[in-house]
Structure 1
């Protein structure tokens, strides 16, 4: 029997990780086309600390309390459509937050079954990998034999992009901290470089940027028909950063495009097929219990993350 109340992560003011708290609220009632999911694990994504700290205030406003969490892995509470009670599913809320809760009502079109053999914690390291699929396949149209540079190659999206790029037949270079050079090679990168002192990197057909700063320098590394896809922008200079992307998005050659992931079931299903084939494997950096969600945010903010930081629900 489902309780009428649940625990969820909220914050009532902008600030450091300590503003996060585990509070209590009502269990949501699923609306038409929604599935009630008992959440087992979520990951911490780069935009969440920025939101919590108030760095996205122009977009997020000053209404509180606010919630965190965009992805989830959990069990279906009540059978509906193609989902049976107890099915382990994964999904994303799209362009809103709130998955860091014991129960979440999710549109069925944003869920899919977790590939066999994955537990909830390892599965939670993967849903935002749909961003890598969209970036490399749909936007950049990465082709076999092309040269791909991934900035932040051991981060939450980057580590999936390295594996996916190799599976798509590209020559992959990962730009990481010096401590993660060996790891990115283990993930399949042909080359790896320390982002602080990268040396001569050469030219690339595709650059996937997960960092958001210094985009002009990396655009100069593109070949004549090169493409750059950015999934982050410079939070310290948002107008300048987004203006630069917009100005270069209309170019026919050496263009730069920005996008924010908004995956649906078909994209999650494709991610599942890559996982089932062995081309993409999950990478979990650390696991925190729900009561230590502030520590999970601190760990992400310290940097040097190897894959995903996961928050597990009991």
Structure 2
């Protein structure tokens, strides 16, 4: 099969690999599309180095194929699998989706939403799942601020918060303003012109550029600041030190920082399927690349030029 092949950090090529064999609780997928986010870049480069200590491979990547968001068709069933059959259309996550075939655990797969393409479905799992978990507890009528509203997680954050009945304010760059408006944001701030104003019950910080003091000052009493991630740190810890530092502030204020560690589970993806089929959430797909140009897709995301979610099609 054709695949992006990575044997060491910082280097990958488009080449050939054997088709993988599904093990216990796994299925073999014919991959139709794979989502791209900053996580792929981190695993390709091995940076920040903290990731290597978190189980992704110390000297080199554990998976020879990058890519984790996936949408495709079940081609083979592994031992112990129930609930799926050959020919089923699914979406979710796996290790190695930048390939014509990939093995995926059924614990991280759900049926593909009806009425959308594989390209759209592949744009949903990680970013949509992260936004959904970050917005748990939001009540109708509350004010939600989404920083980085034009990116992968942020674009779903705007829509899910609206589906929960919140008043939503999005913050993004000039090129993404129209997208964020089209996703249903009640207010949109172009941070290149003027920063956001007001106070909020929940801030979903998908950008990581603003200091903790600024976020806390924009939060109502007993409000929450959910830290999705940051790309402002160095090669050792990346933006993780911001999340760790935020925990030290929690005992001294009724406003709480919540560093988000999202999980990839079938039930989360099934919640997203329901929202999509109800018309409450749509996949905001930006640029689409063929598998042979998957590394260009990763560079596109890293350059921060992506509007919505970047996808690789197979």
Q: TM-score, structure 2 length as denominator? A: 0.89
1:27 deviation in Å? Answer: 2.0
The question of 1:22 aligning with 2:17 is answered: no
Task: Evaluate the alpha carbon distance shift between residue 146 and residue 304 of structure 1 in structure 2; reply closer, same or farther with a 3 A threshold.
Answer: farther
Give per-residue Cα distances to partners, 1:120-144, cap 9 Å, x unaligned. Answer: 111111112011111101xxx1111
> Counterpart in 2 of 1:226?
223
> Counterpart in 1 of 2:3?
8
> Counterpart in 2 of 1:74?
72
How far apart, in 1, do the equivalents of 2:207 and 2:186 lie? 21
The question of 1:42 aligning with 2:26 is answered: no
> Counterpart in 1 of 2:55?
none
> Counterpart in 1 of 2:116?
118
> Counterpart in 2 of 1:3?
none
How far apart, in 2, do the equivalents of 1:266 and 1:251 lie? 35
How far apart, in 2, do the equivalents of 1:251 and 1:100 lie? 45
1:58 deviation in Å? Answer: 2.9
Structure 1's unaligned 5+ residue stretches are 1-5
Give per-residue Cα distances to partners, 1:123-171, cap 9 Å, x unaligned. Answer: 111112011111101xxx1111111110110111111110111111111
How far apart, in 1, do the equivalents of 2:262 and 2:20 lie? 24
Retained in 1: the 8 A contact 2:208–2:239? no
1:252 deviation in Å? Answer: 6.2
What secondary structure sits across from 1:214 in the alignment? coil
How far apart, in 1, do the equivalents of 2:240 and 2:113 lie? 40
The question of 1:127 aligning with 2:125 is answered: yes
What secondary structure sits across from 1:47 in the alignment? helix
1:63 paired residue among 46, 56, 60: 60
Q: TM-score, structure 1 length as denominator? A: 0.89
Task: Evaluate the alpha carbon distance shift between residue 310 and residue 239 of structure 1 in structure 2; reply closer, same or farther with a 3 A threshold.
Answer: closer
Matches within 5 A, 1:102-181: 102-128=100-126, 129-137=128-136, 141-181=137-177
Give per-residue Cα distances to partners, 1:203-242, cap 9 Å, x unaligned. Answer: 0110001122324122221111110111103432546423
Task: Evaluate the alpha carbon distance shift between residue 200 and residue 286 of structure 1 in structure 2; reply closer, same or farther with a 3 A threshold.
Answer: closer
> Counterpart in 1 of 2:194?
198
Retained in 1: the 8 A contact 2:150–2:176? yes
Retained in 1: the 8 A contact 2:91–2:111? yes
What secondary structure sits across from 2:17 in the alignment? strand
Give per-residue Cα distances to partners, 1:98-117, cap 9 Å, x unaligned. Answer: 22222222111111110111
Task: Evaluate the alpha carbon distance shift between residue 239 and residue 104 of structure 1 in structure 2; reply closer, same or farther with a 3 A threshold.
Answer: closer
1:266 deviation in Å? Answer: 1.2
How far apart, in 2, do the equivalents of 1:182 and 1:241 lie? 30
Retained in 1: the 8 A contact 2:26–2:106? yes
Task: Evaluate the alpha carbon distance shift between residue 239 and residue 183 of structure 1 in structure 2; reply closer, same or farther with a 3 A threshold.
Answer: closer
How far apart, in 2, do the equivalents of 1:84 and 1:78 lie? 8
What secondary structure sits across from 1:27 in the alignment? coil
Matches within 5 A, 1:182-197: 182-197=178-193
Task: Evaluate the alpha carbon distance shift between residue 199 and residue 22 of structure 1 in structure 2; reply closer, same or farther with a 3 A threshold.
Answer: closer
1:248 deviation in Å? Answer: 3.5
The Cα RMSD (Å) is 2.0
Task: Evaluate the alpha carbon distance shift between residue 303 and residue 35 of structure 1 in structure 2; reply closer, same or farther with a 3 A threshold.
Answer: same
Task: Evaluate the alpha carbon distance shift between residue 239 and residue 121 of structure 1 in structure 2; reply closer, same or farther with a 3 A threshold.
Answer: closer
